Structure 1
Amino acid sequence: MVALKLATSLDGRIATSAGDSRWVSSERARAEAHRLRACHDAVAVGSGTALADDPELTCRLPGLENSQPVRIVFDRRLRLSPDSTLARTSDRAPVWVLTRTGADATRRAELEARGVEVIEAGEPFLPSALAELARRGLTRLLVEGGGTLAAALLLEGVVDRIHLVHAPLVLGADAVPAIGPLGVERVARAPRFVPVESVELAGDRLTVLEPAGSGGE
């Protein structure tokens, strides 16, 4: 099961044009994100998000500190720094980096020295990477960004659920979109989802959606 978690402005943006994203959503919405992490086998981001935000991706809610998911970076070009927060905290919760076959051996050794597990995936990269995770027993994956990875998952048709938080603010067309290009030329061919749950979170609106035709409508 692949769940996509998005926290966006009203116009679907996740950061300003300067890259500032703290904080688009409310503290209550961020707490819900931590709860979601504890409910999944793994939490994942793309390499762009890992480089731009330097996230920790742990669950930091009181009482759930021992419910840590595997932290995953989809990093085809193996760009994650061994000095990143993820690499430096690999002793707190496992960190796996999914990369292409034959990736940079020096960078791989640097990451492995930090305790990061580097996993090679074949082509096509994304389906192969997801298959590697399933083979290792990870069946509940929470993806937190960024836009490139979100778009790739939607194009593959593997997103089973979306947790969408809308914050009551507008960032504009020059801000960073939550979802990258999909190449959709006709509305009829757009990935379509239906809401199955909606709740207010301290002024934000959380909507849970599932694919149309999956039983959610």
Structure 2
Amino acid sequence: MTGVRVTLKLATSLDGRIALADGTSQWITSSASRAKAHELRAAHDAIMVGVGTVLADDPLLTARTIPLPGRQPLRIVADSQGRTPLASKLMTSLNVGPVIIATAGSEAPALAAAGAAVWPCGNAIRMNVTEFLRRAASEGIRSILLEGGSHLGASFVRAGAVHELAWFRAPILIGGEGFSALGELGLTDLKSATRWRPVATERIGDDVLDTYVRFEQ
């Protein structure tokens, strides 16, 4: 599709849940797993989340490794309507590194005036994954760590844009009332499901990190 390699990072219970029914999600995986996730951040050109994650968790999206990386990854928000709060940690930490707002076509003038780079990528409804990746490639981005949420991850999977899965699993069960790690993929038969090849498994305390790469057709 483009020259941008996308890794989807998931941090879930054994049954693939990312939060309780009331939205509680901190912390499912261990501090050691979170430290490993920061190493993953540092290894990518950019980190990307959906605006729902920004509104719910107010993340900073920096790589907090020891020692700190020489260069922080770019921070990208898929935000179709430009709803990222000006008072969010992302927008109040532009001195740490750039923030990119990928919209569905809105110029998001308030966010642009505050210092964010606004990329209109799509129609008036939602950000278009293919358009976004073309813009990212043109800007010299070669790797993106996709961290959430479930709808954003599903949109990249549906577009065939995810090359690798980094799946952290904690040894707990949450049940069907919890939030799923991935949104709807619109499958009508199992033959249409994307297949993944396991390439590595790492024990991190009681957690497990499984790495998969997509089978190329």
Same fold (TM over 0.5): yes
Q: What amino acid maps onto 2:24 in structure 1?
A: D
Q: Is the 8 A contact 1:26 1:204 kept in 2?
A: yes
**RMSD of aligned alpha carbons:** 1.4
Number of aligned pairs? 210
Deviations 1:36-76 (CA, angstroms, capped at 9, x unpaired): 11110000001111111111110111212433100000111
2:195 maps to: 192
Q: Is the 8 A contact 1:5 1:162 kept in 2?
A: yes
1:120 maps to: 120
Q: What amino acid maps onto 1:11 in structure 2?
A: D
Q: Is the 8 A contact 1:162 1:209 kept in 2?
A: yes
Deviations 1:145-187 (CA, angstroms, capped at 9, x unpaired): 1100111111111111000011101111111111001122222
2:99 maps to: 95
Gaps of 5+ in 2: none
Gaps of 5+ in 1: none
* Distance in 1, Cα, partners of 2:94 & 2:12: 29
Q: What amino acid maps onto 1:100 in structure 2?
A: A
Q: Judge which range, 21-30 or 64-73, deviates more.
A: 64-73
Where 2:91 maps in the other structure, the secondary structure is helix
Aligned residue among 84, 87, 93 for 1:83: 87
Q: What amino acid maps onto 1:159 in structure 2?
A: V
* Distance in 1, Cα, partners of 2:216 & 2:45: 26
* Distance in 1, Cα, partners of 2:168 & 2:101: 27
Deviations 1:14-49 (CA, angstroms, capped at 9, x unpaired): 111111111011111101110011110000001111
TM-score when normalising by structure 1: 0.92
* Distance in 1, Cα, partners of 2:179 & 2:113: 34
Q: Judge which range, 65-74 or 196-205, deviates more.
A: 65-74
1:28 maps to: 32
1:131 maps to: 134
* Distance in 1, Cα, partners of 2:151 & 2:111: 23
Q: What amino acid maps onto 2:114 in structure 1?
A: R
Q: What amino acid maps onto 1:78 in structure 2?
A: G
4+ runs deviating over 6 angstroms: none
Q: Is the 8 A contact 1:40 1:69 kept in 2?
A: yes
Shift of residue 125 of structure 1?
1.5
Q: What amino acid maps onto 2:100 in structure 1?
A: W
* Distance in 1, Cα, partners of 2:158 & 2:189: 14
2:43 maps to: 39
* Distance in 2, Cα, partners of 1:80 & 1:181: 24
2:205 maps to: 202
Aligned residue among 143, 153, 159 for 2:146: 143
Q: Is the 8 A contact 1:198 1:206 kept in 2?
A: yes
Aligned residue among 170, 174, 178 for 1:167: 170
Shift of residue 100 of structure 1?
1.9
1:50 maps to: 54
